Structure 1
């Protein structure tokens, strides 16, 4: 995985400059200016795709920096932040149109990103650099407070509801780390399994769910006592989570099995799998009416639309290489980026 992140470092500045020029070209947004776009990051080719949510057509392709993996809205929903991990910068785009607003340089290796629930902290994981960067957020630009070494390969994160702790998965060491935000120190680490990735906090901050990308289950962690109390069988490559916004169920993408499992957050059981998918389901987003789940297929250059009533894949949309993060403008902002 490290080779994947290091590839393309040479010539990054030139590619970045060319991308900015192309993004500014007249007409690139001419068919895309409305509020029902879906934005998808194509991490393998340094672009984002704008998809009309009504017609399901790609209406524009916009250059980004190198390896854009994750994205999330600012707390006021005025900007969408695209984290370009190899270009070491953040790209701010208009969440309605995908049009570039500005760039923020010297944000090193921003793989995953998230805001604490109280919006005082902005955190990025440096998967390539083995560290966690913690910033104060003033409503405009993050201000670096601490670069905290955190091995090995920190990837996904989740926050406690009181904004005091950020939890981070360490993919190579197979650990879950808890970092105290006020003091910017590691409180503890605990082993959870092989290649832990996505994190999900259950209601009331009771348990953390951890997707085991190196295995076929989700680990249930009693984080207050720092131990795995249960495993939930899903599918090979359990990876990332998305709430179904019904107060009880969360979806987990199984990237190797090419399935999506539905987990009941109360009983902590797998209540059903969505099969018949394309290779590499990863990040997911829910439509405002909660009827359809959109998913990026990392290994198929496509985005899929799943009808949740029938649990069937009903449509696919071609996008760029290695599609990863996905965002709907008509969804409310969240604190941690959806996806990994």
Structure 2
């Protein structure tokens, strides 16, 4: 079993990692921010003060970071650098570099199982799922599981026994058994499946069809599609609106966000007038505002949910992807990042 130590700095730094760490550690001013945006196209993080809605700092990352996620105890924010083959850990409040973990190959998406025993990474470029044992401090590689073609997003069952993964090129949904690290089943779901969302009671999995214009409703226990919900072209990723009933889905091609009722499994309204490429989303603590990254516009946006209207945009880096709020309770599944 290959082990990776988390508490200290990794013993082997890449040149880029060392330079990035030095740039932050010796920065003359460290701000206490609570919104972090990952800019995939520039390999940076934009640090935003939520109160003033101003970018106050920029932090270098590794090459081609695509997703970010807090550790279960919220002590670190992990940035997955897919081309650098490493993980960057930063302070989730300040953005200050804490450590680098090398040798994590092609980490496109990352996710912790609800029981915190597993860290799973999808290798979009390598057609692989890497599964690590996690004890709260260390990672130990359990399995590198071939999973073609182009595994991207994931969701976990509540009992932590299964991780569901979308395969973008083959148009499939895969279910992987975590205790045995084996593929239980695959099923066709549609063109370019991406984001996944588990409905209340784990009754259905919602799958965003980025190559189409709908969300597929999957009865995963019986491996069948029971319904499709029209949304907009490029249905991509999900974010709960925290009312126990509604979830937002970003439509990257239509430049809209659809609101889905999880009980009736219907689209109850679209948010329009957005910038190109709405992608990942996060909710303000008071549940009034939905923040969204515009993947193709070098901006993020703030939506007033009472009006379902874009009220402000903030310039960030190229290809903004993940977004994180410090004042959120940590989550394990990467549904919103």
Same fold (TM over 0.5): yes
**Alpha-carbon separation, structure 2, partners of 1:231 and 1:309:** 27
Q: Does the CA contact (< 8 Å) of 2:256 and 2:274 recur in 1?
A: yes
Deviations 1:157-205 (A, max 9, x none): 0000111000000000000000000000000000000000000000111
- Indicate whether 1:56 and 2:56 are aligned: no
Equivalent residue pairs, number: 325
Please report how far the alpha carbon of residue 13 of structure 1 lies from its aligned counterpart in structure 2 after TM superposition: 4.3
CA drift of 1:31 comes to 5.0
Matched, 1:115 2:112: yes
Partner of 1:227: 224
Query: Aligned equivalents of 1:46 and 1:253: distance in 2?
Result: 23
Measure, in 2, the Cα distance between the counterparts of 1:144 and 1:31: 34
Deviation at 1:339, TM superposition (A): 4.7
* Secondary structure of the corresponding residue to residue 23 of structure 1: helix
Unaligned runs of 5+ in 1: 1-11
The Cα shift of 1:246 comes to: 0.3
User: How much does 1:37 deviate?
Assistant: 1.8
Map of 2:90 onto structure 1: 93
Q: How far apart are the structure 2 equivalents of 1:16 and 1:31?
A: 19
Deviations 1:3-62 (A, max 9, x none): xxxxxxxxx9443333223223331xx251x2x520000010110000000000000000
Retained in 2: the 8 A contact 1:46–1:68? yes
Task: Work out whether 1:21 is the aligned partner of 2:41.
Answer: no
Task: For 2:336 and 2:42, locate their aligned partners in 1 and report how far apart those are by CA, in whole Å.
Answer: 18
Distance 1:197 1:234 in 2: 14
Matching of residue 315 in structure 1 with residue 303 in structure 2? no
In structure 1, the partner of 2:210 is 213
Secondary structure, counterpart of 2:115 in structure 1:
coil
Offset from partner CA, 1:38-88 (integer Å, 9 cap, x none): 000001011000000000000000001011111111111111111111111
SS at structure 2 position matched to 1:204: helix
Superimposed CA distance per residue, residues 283-338 of structure 1 (whole angstroms, 9 cap, x where no aligned partner): 00000110000000000000100000000000000000000000001111111224
Q: For 1:95 and 1:31, how far apart are their aligned partners in 2?
A: 12
Contact 1:83 1:112 in 2 (8 A): yes
Deviation at 1:141, TM superposition (A): 2.2
What per-residue deviation string (whole Å, max 9, x for no partner) do you get for residues 123-153 of structure 1?
A: 0000010000001101012211000000000
Q: Deviations over 1:254-285 (max 9, x none)?
A: 00000000000000000000000000000000
Gaps of 5+ in 2: 1-12
1:100-249 alignment, distance < 5 Å: 100-249=97-246
User: SS of the residue aligned with 1:325?
Assistant: strand
RMSD of Structure 2 on Structure 1 (CA): 1.2
The normalised TM-score by structure 1 is 0.94
Name the CA distance, whole Å, in 2 between partners of 1:111 and 1:31. 28
Quote the Cα distance in structure 1 between the aligned partners of 2:206 and 2:158.
15
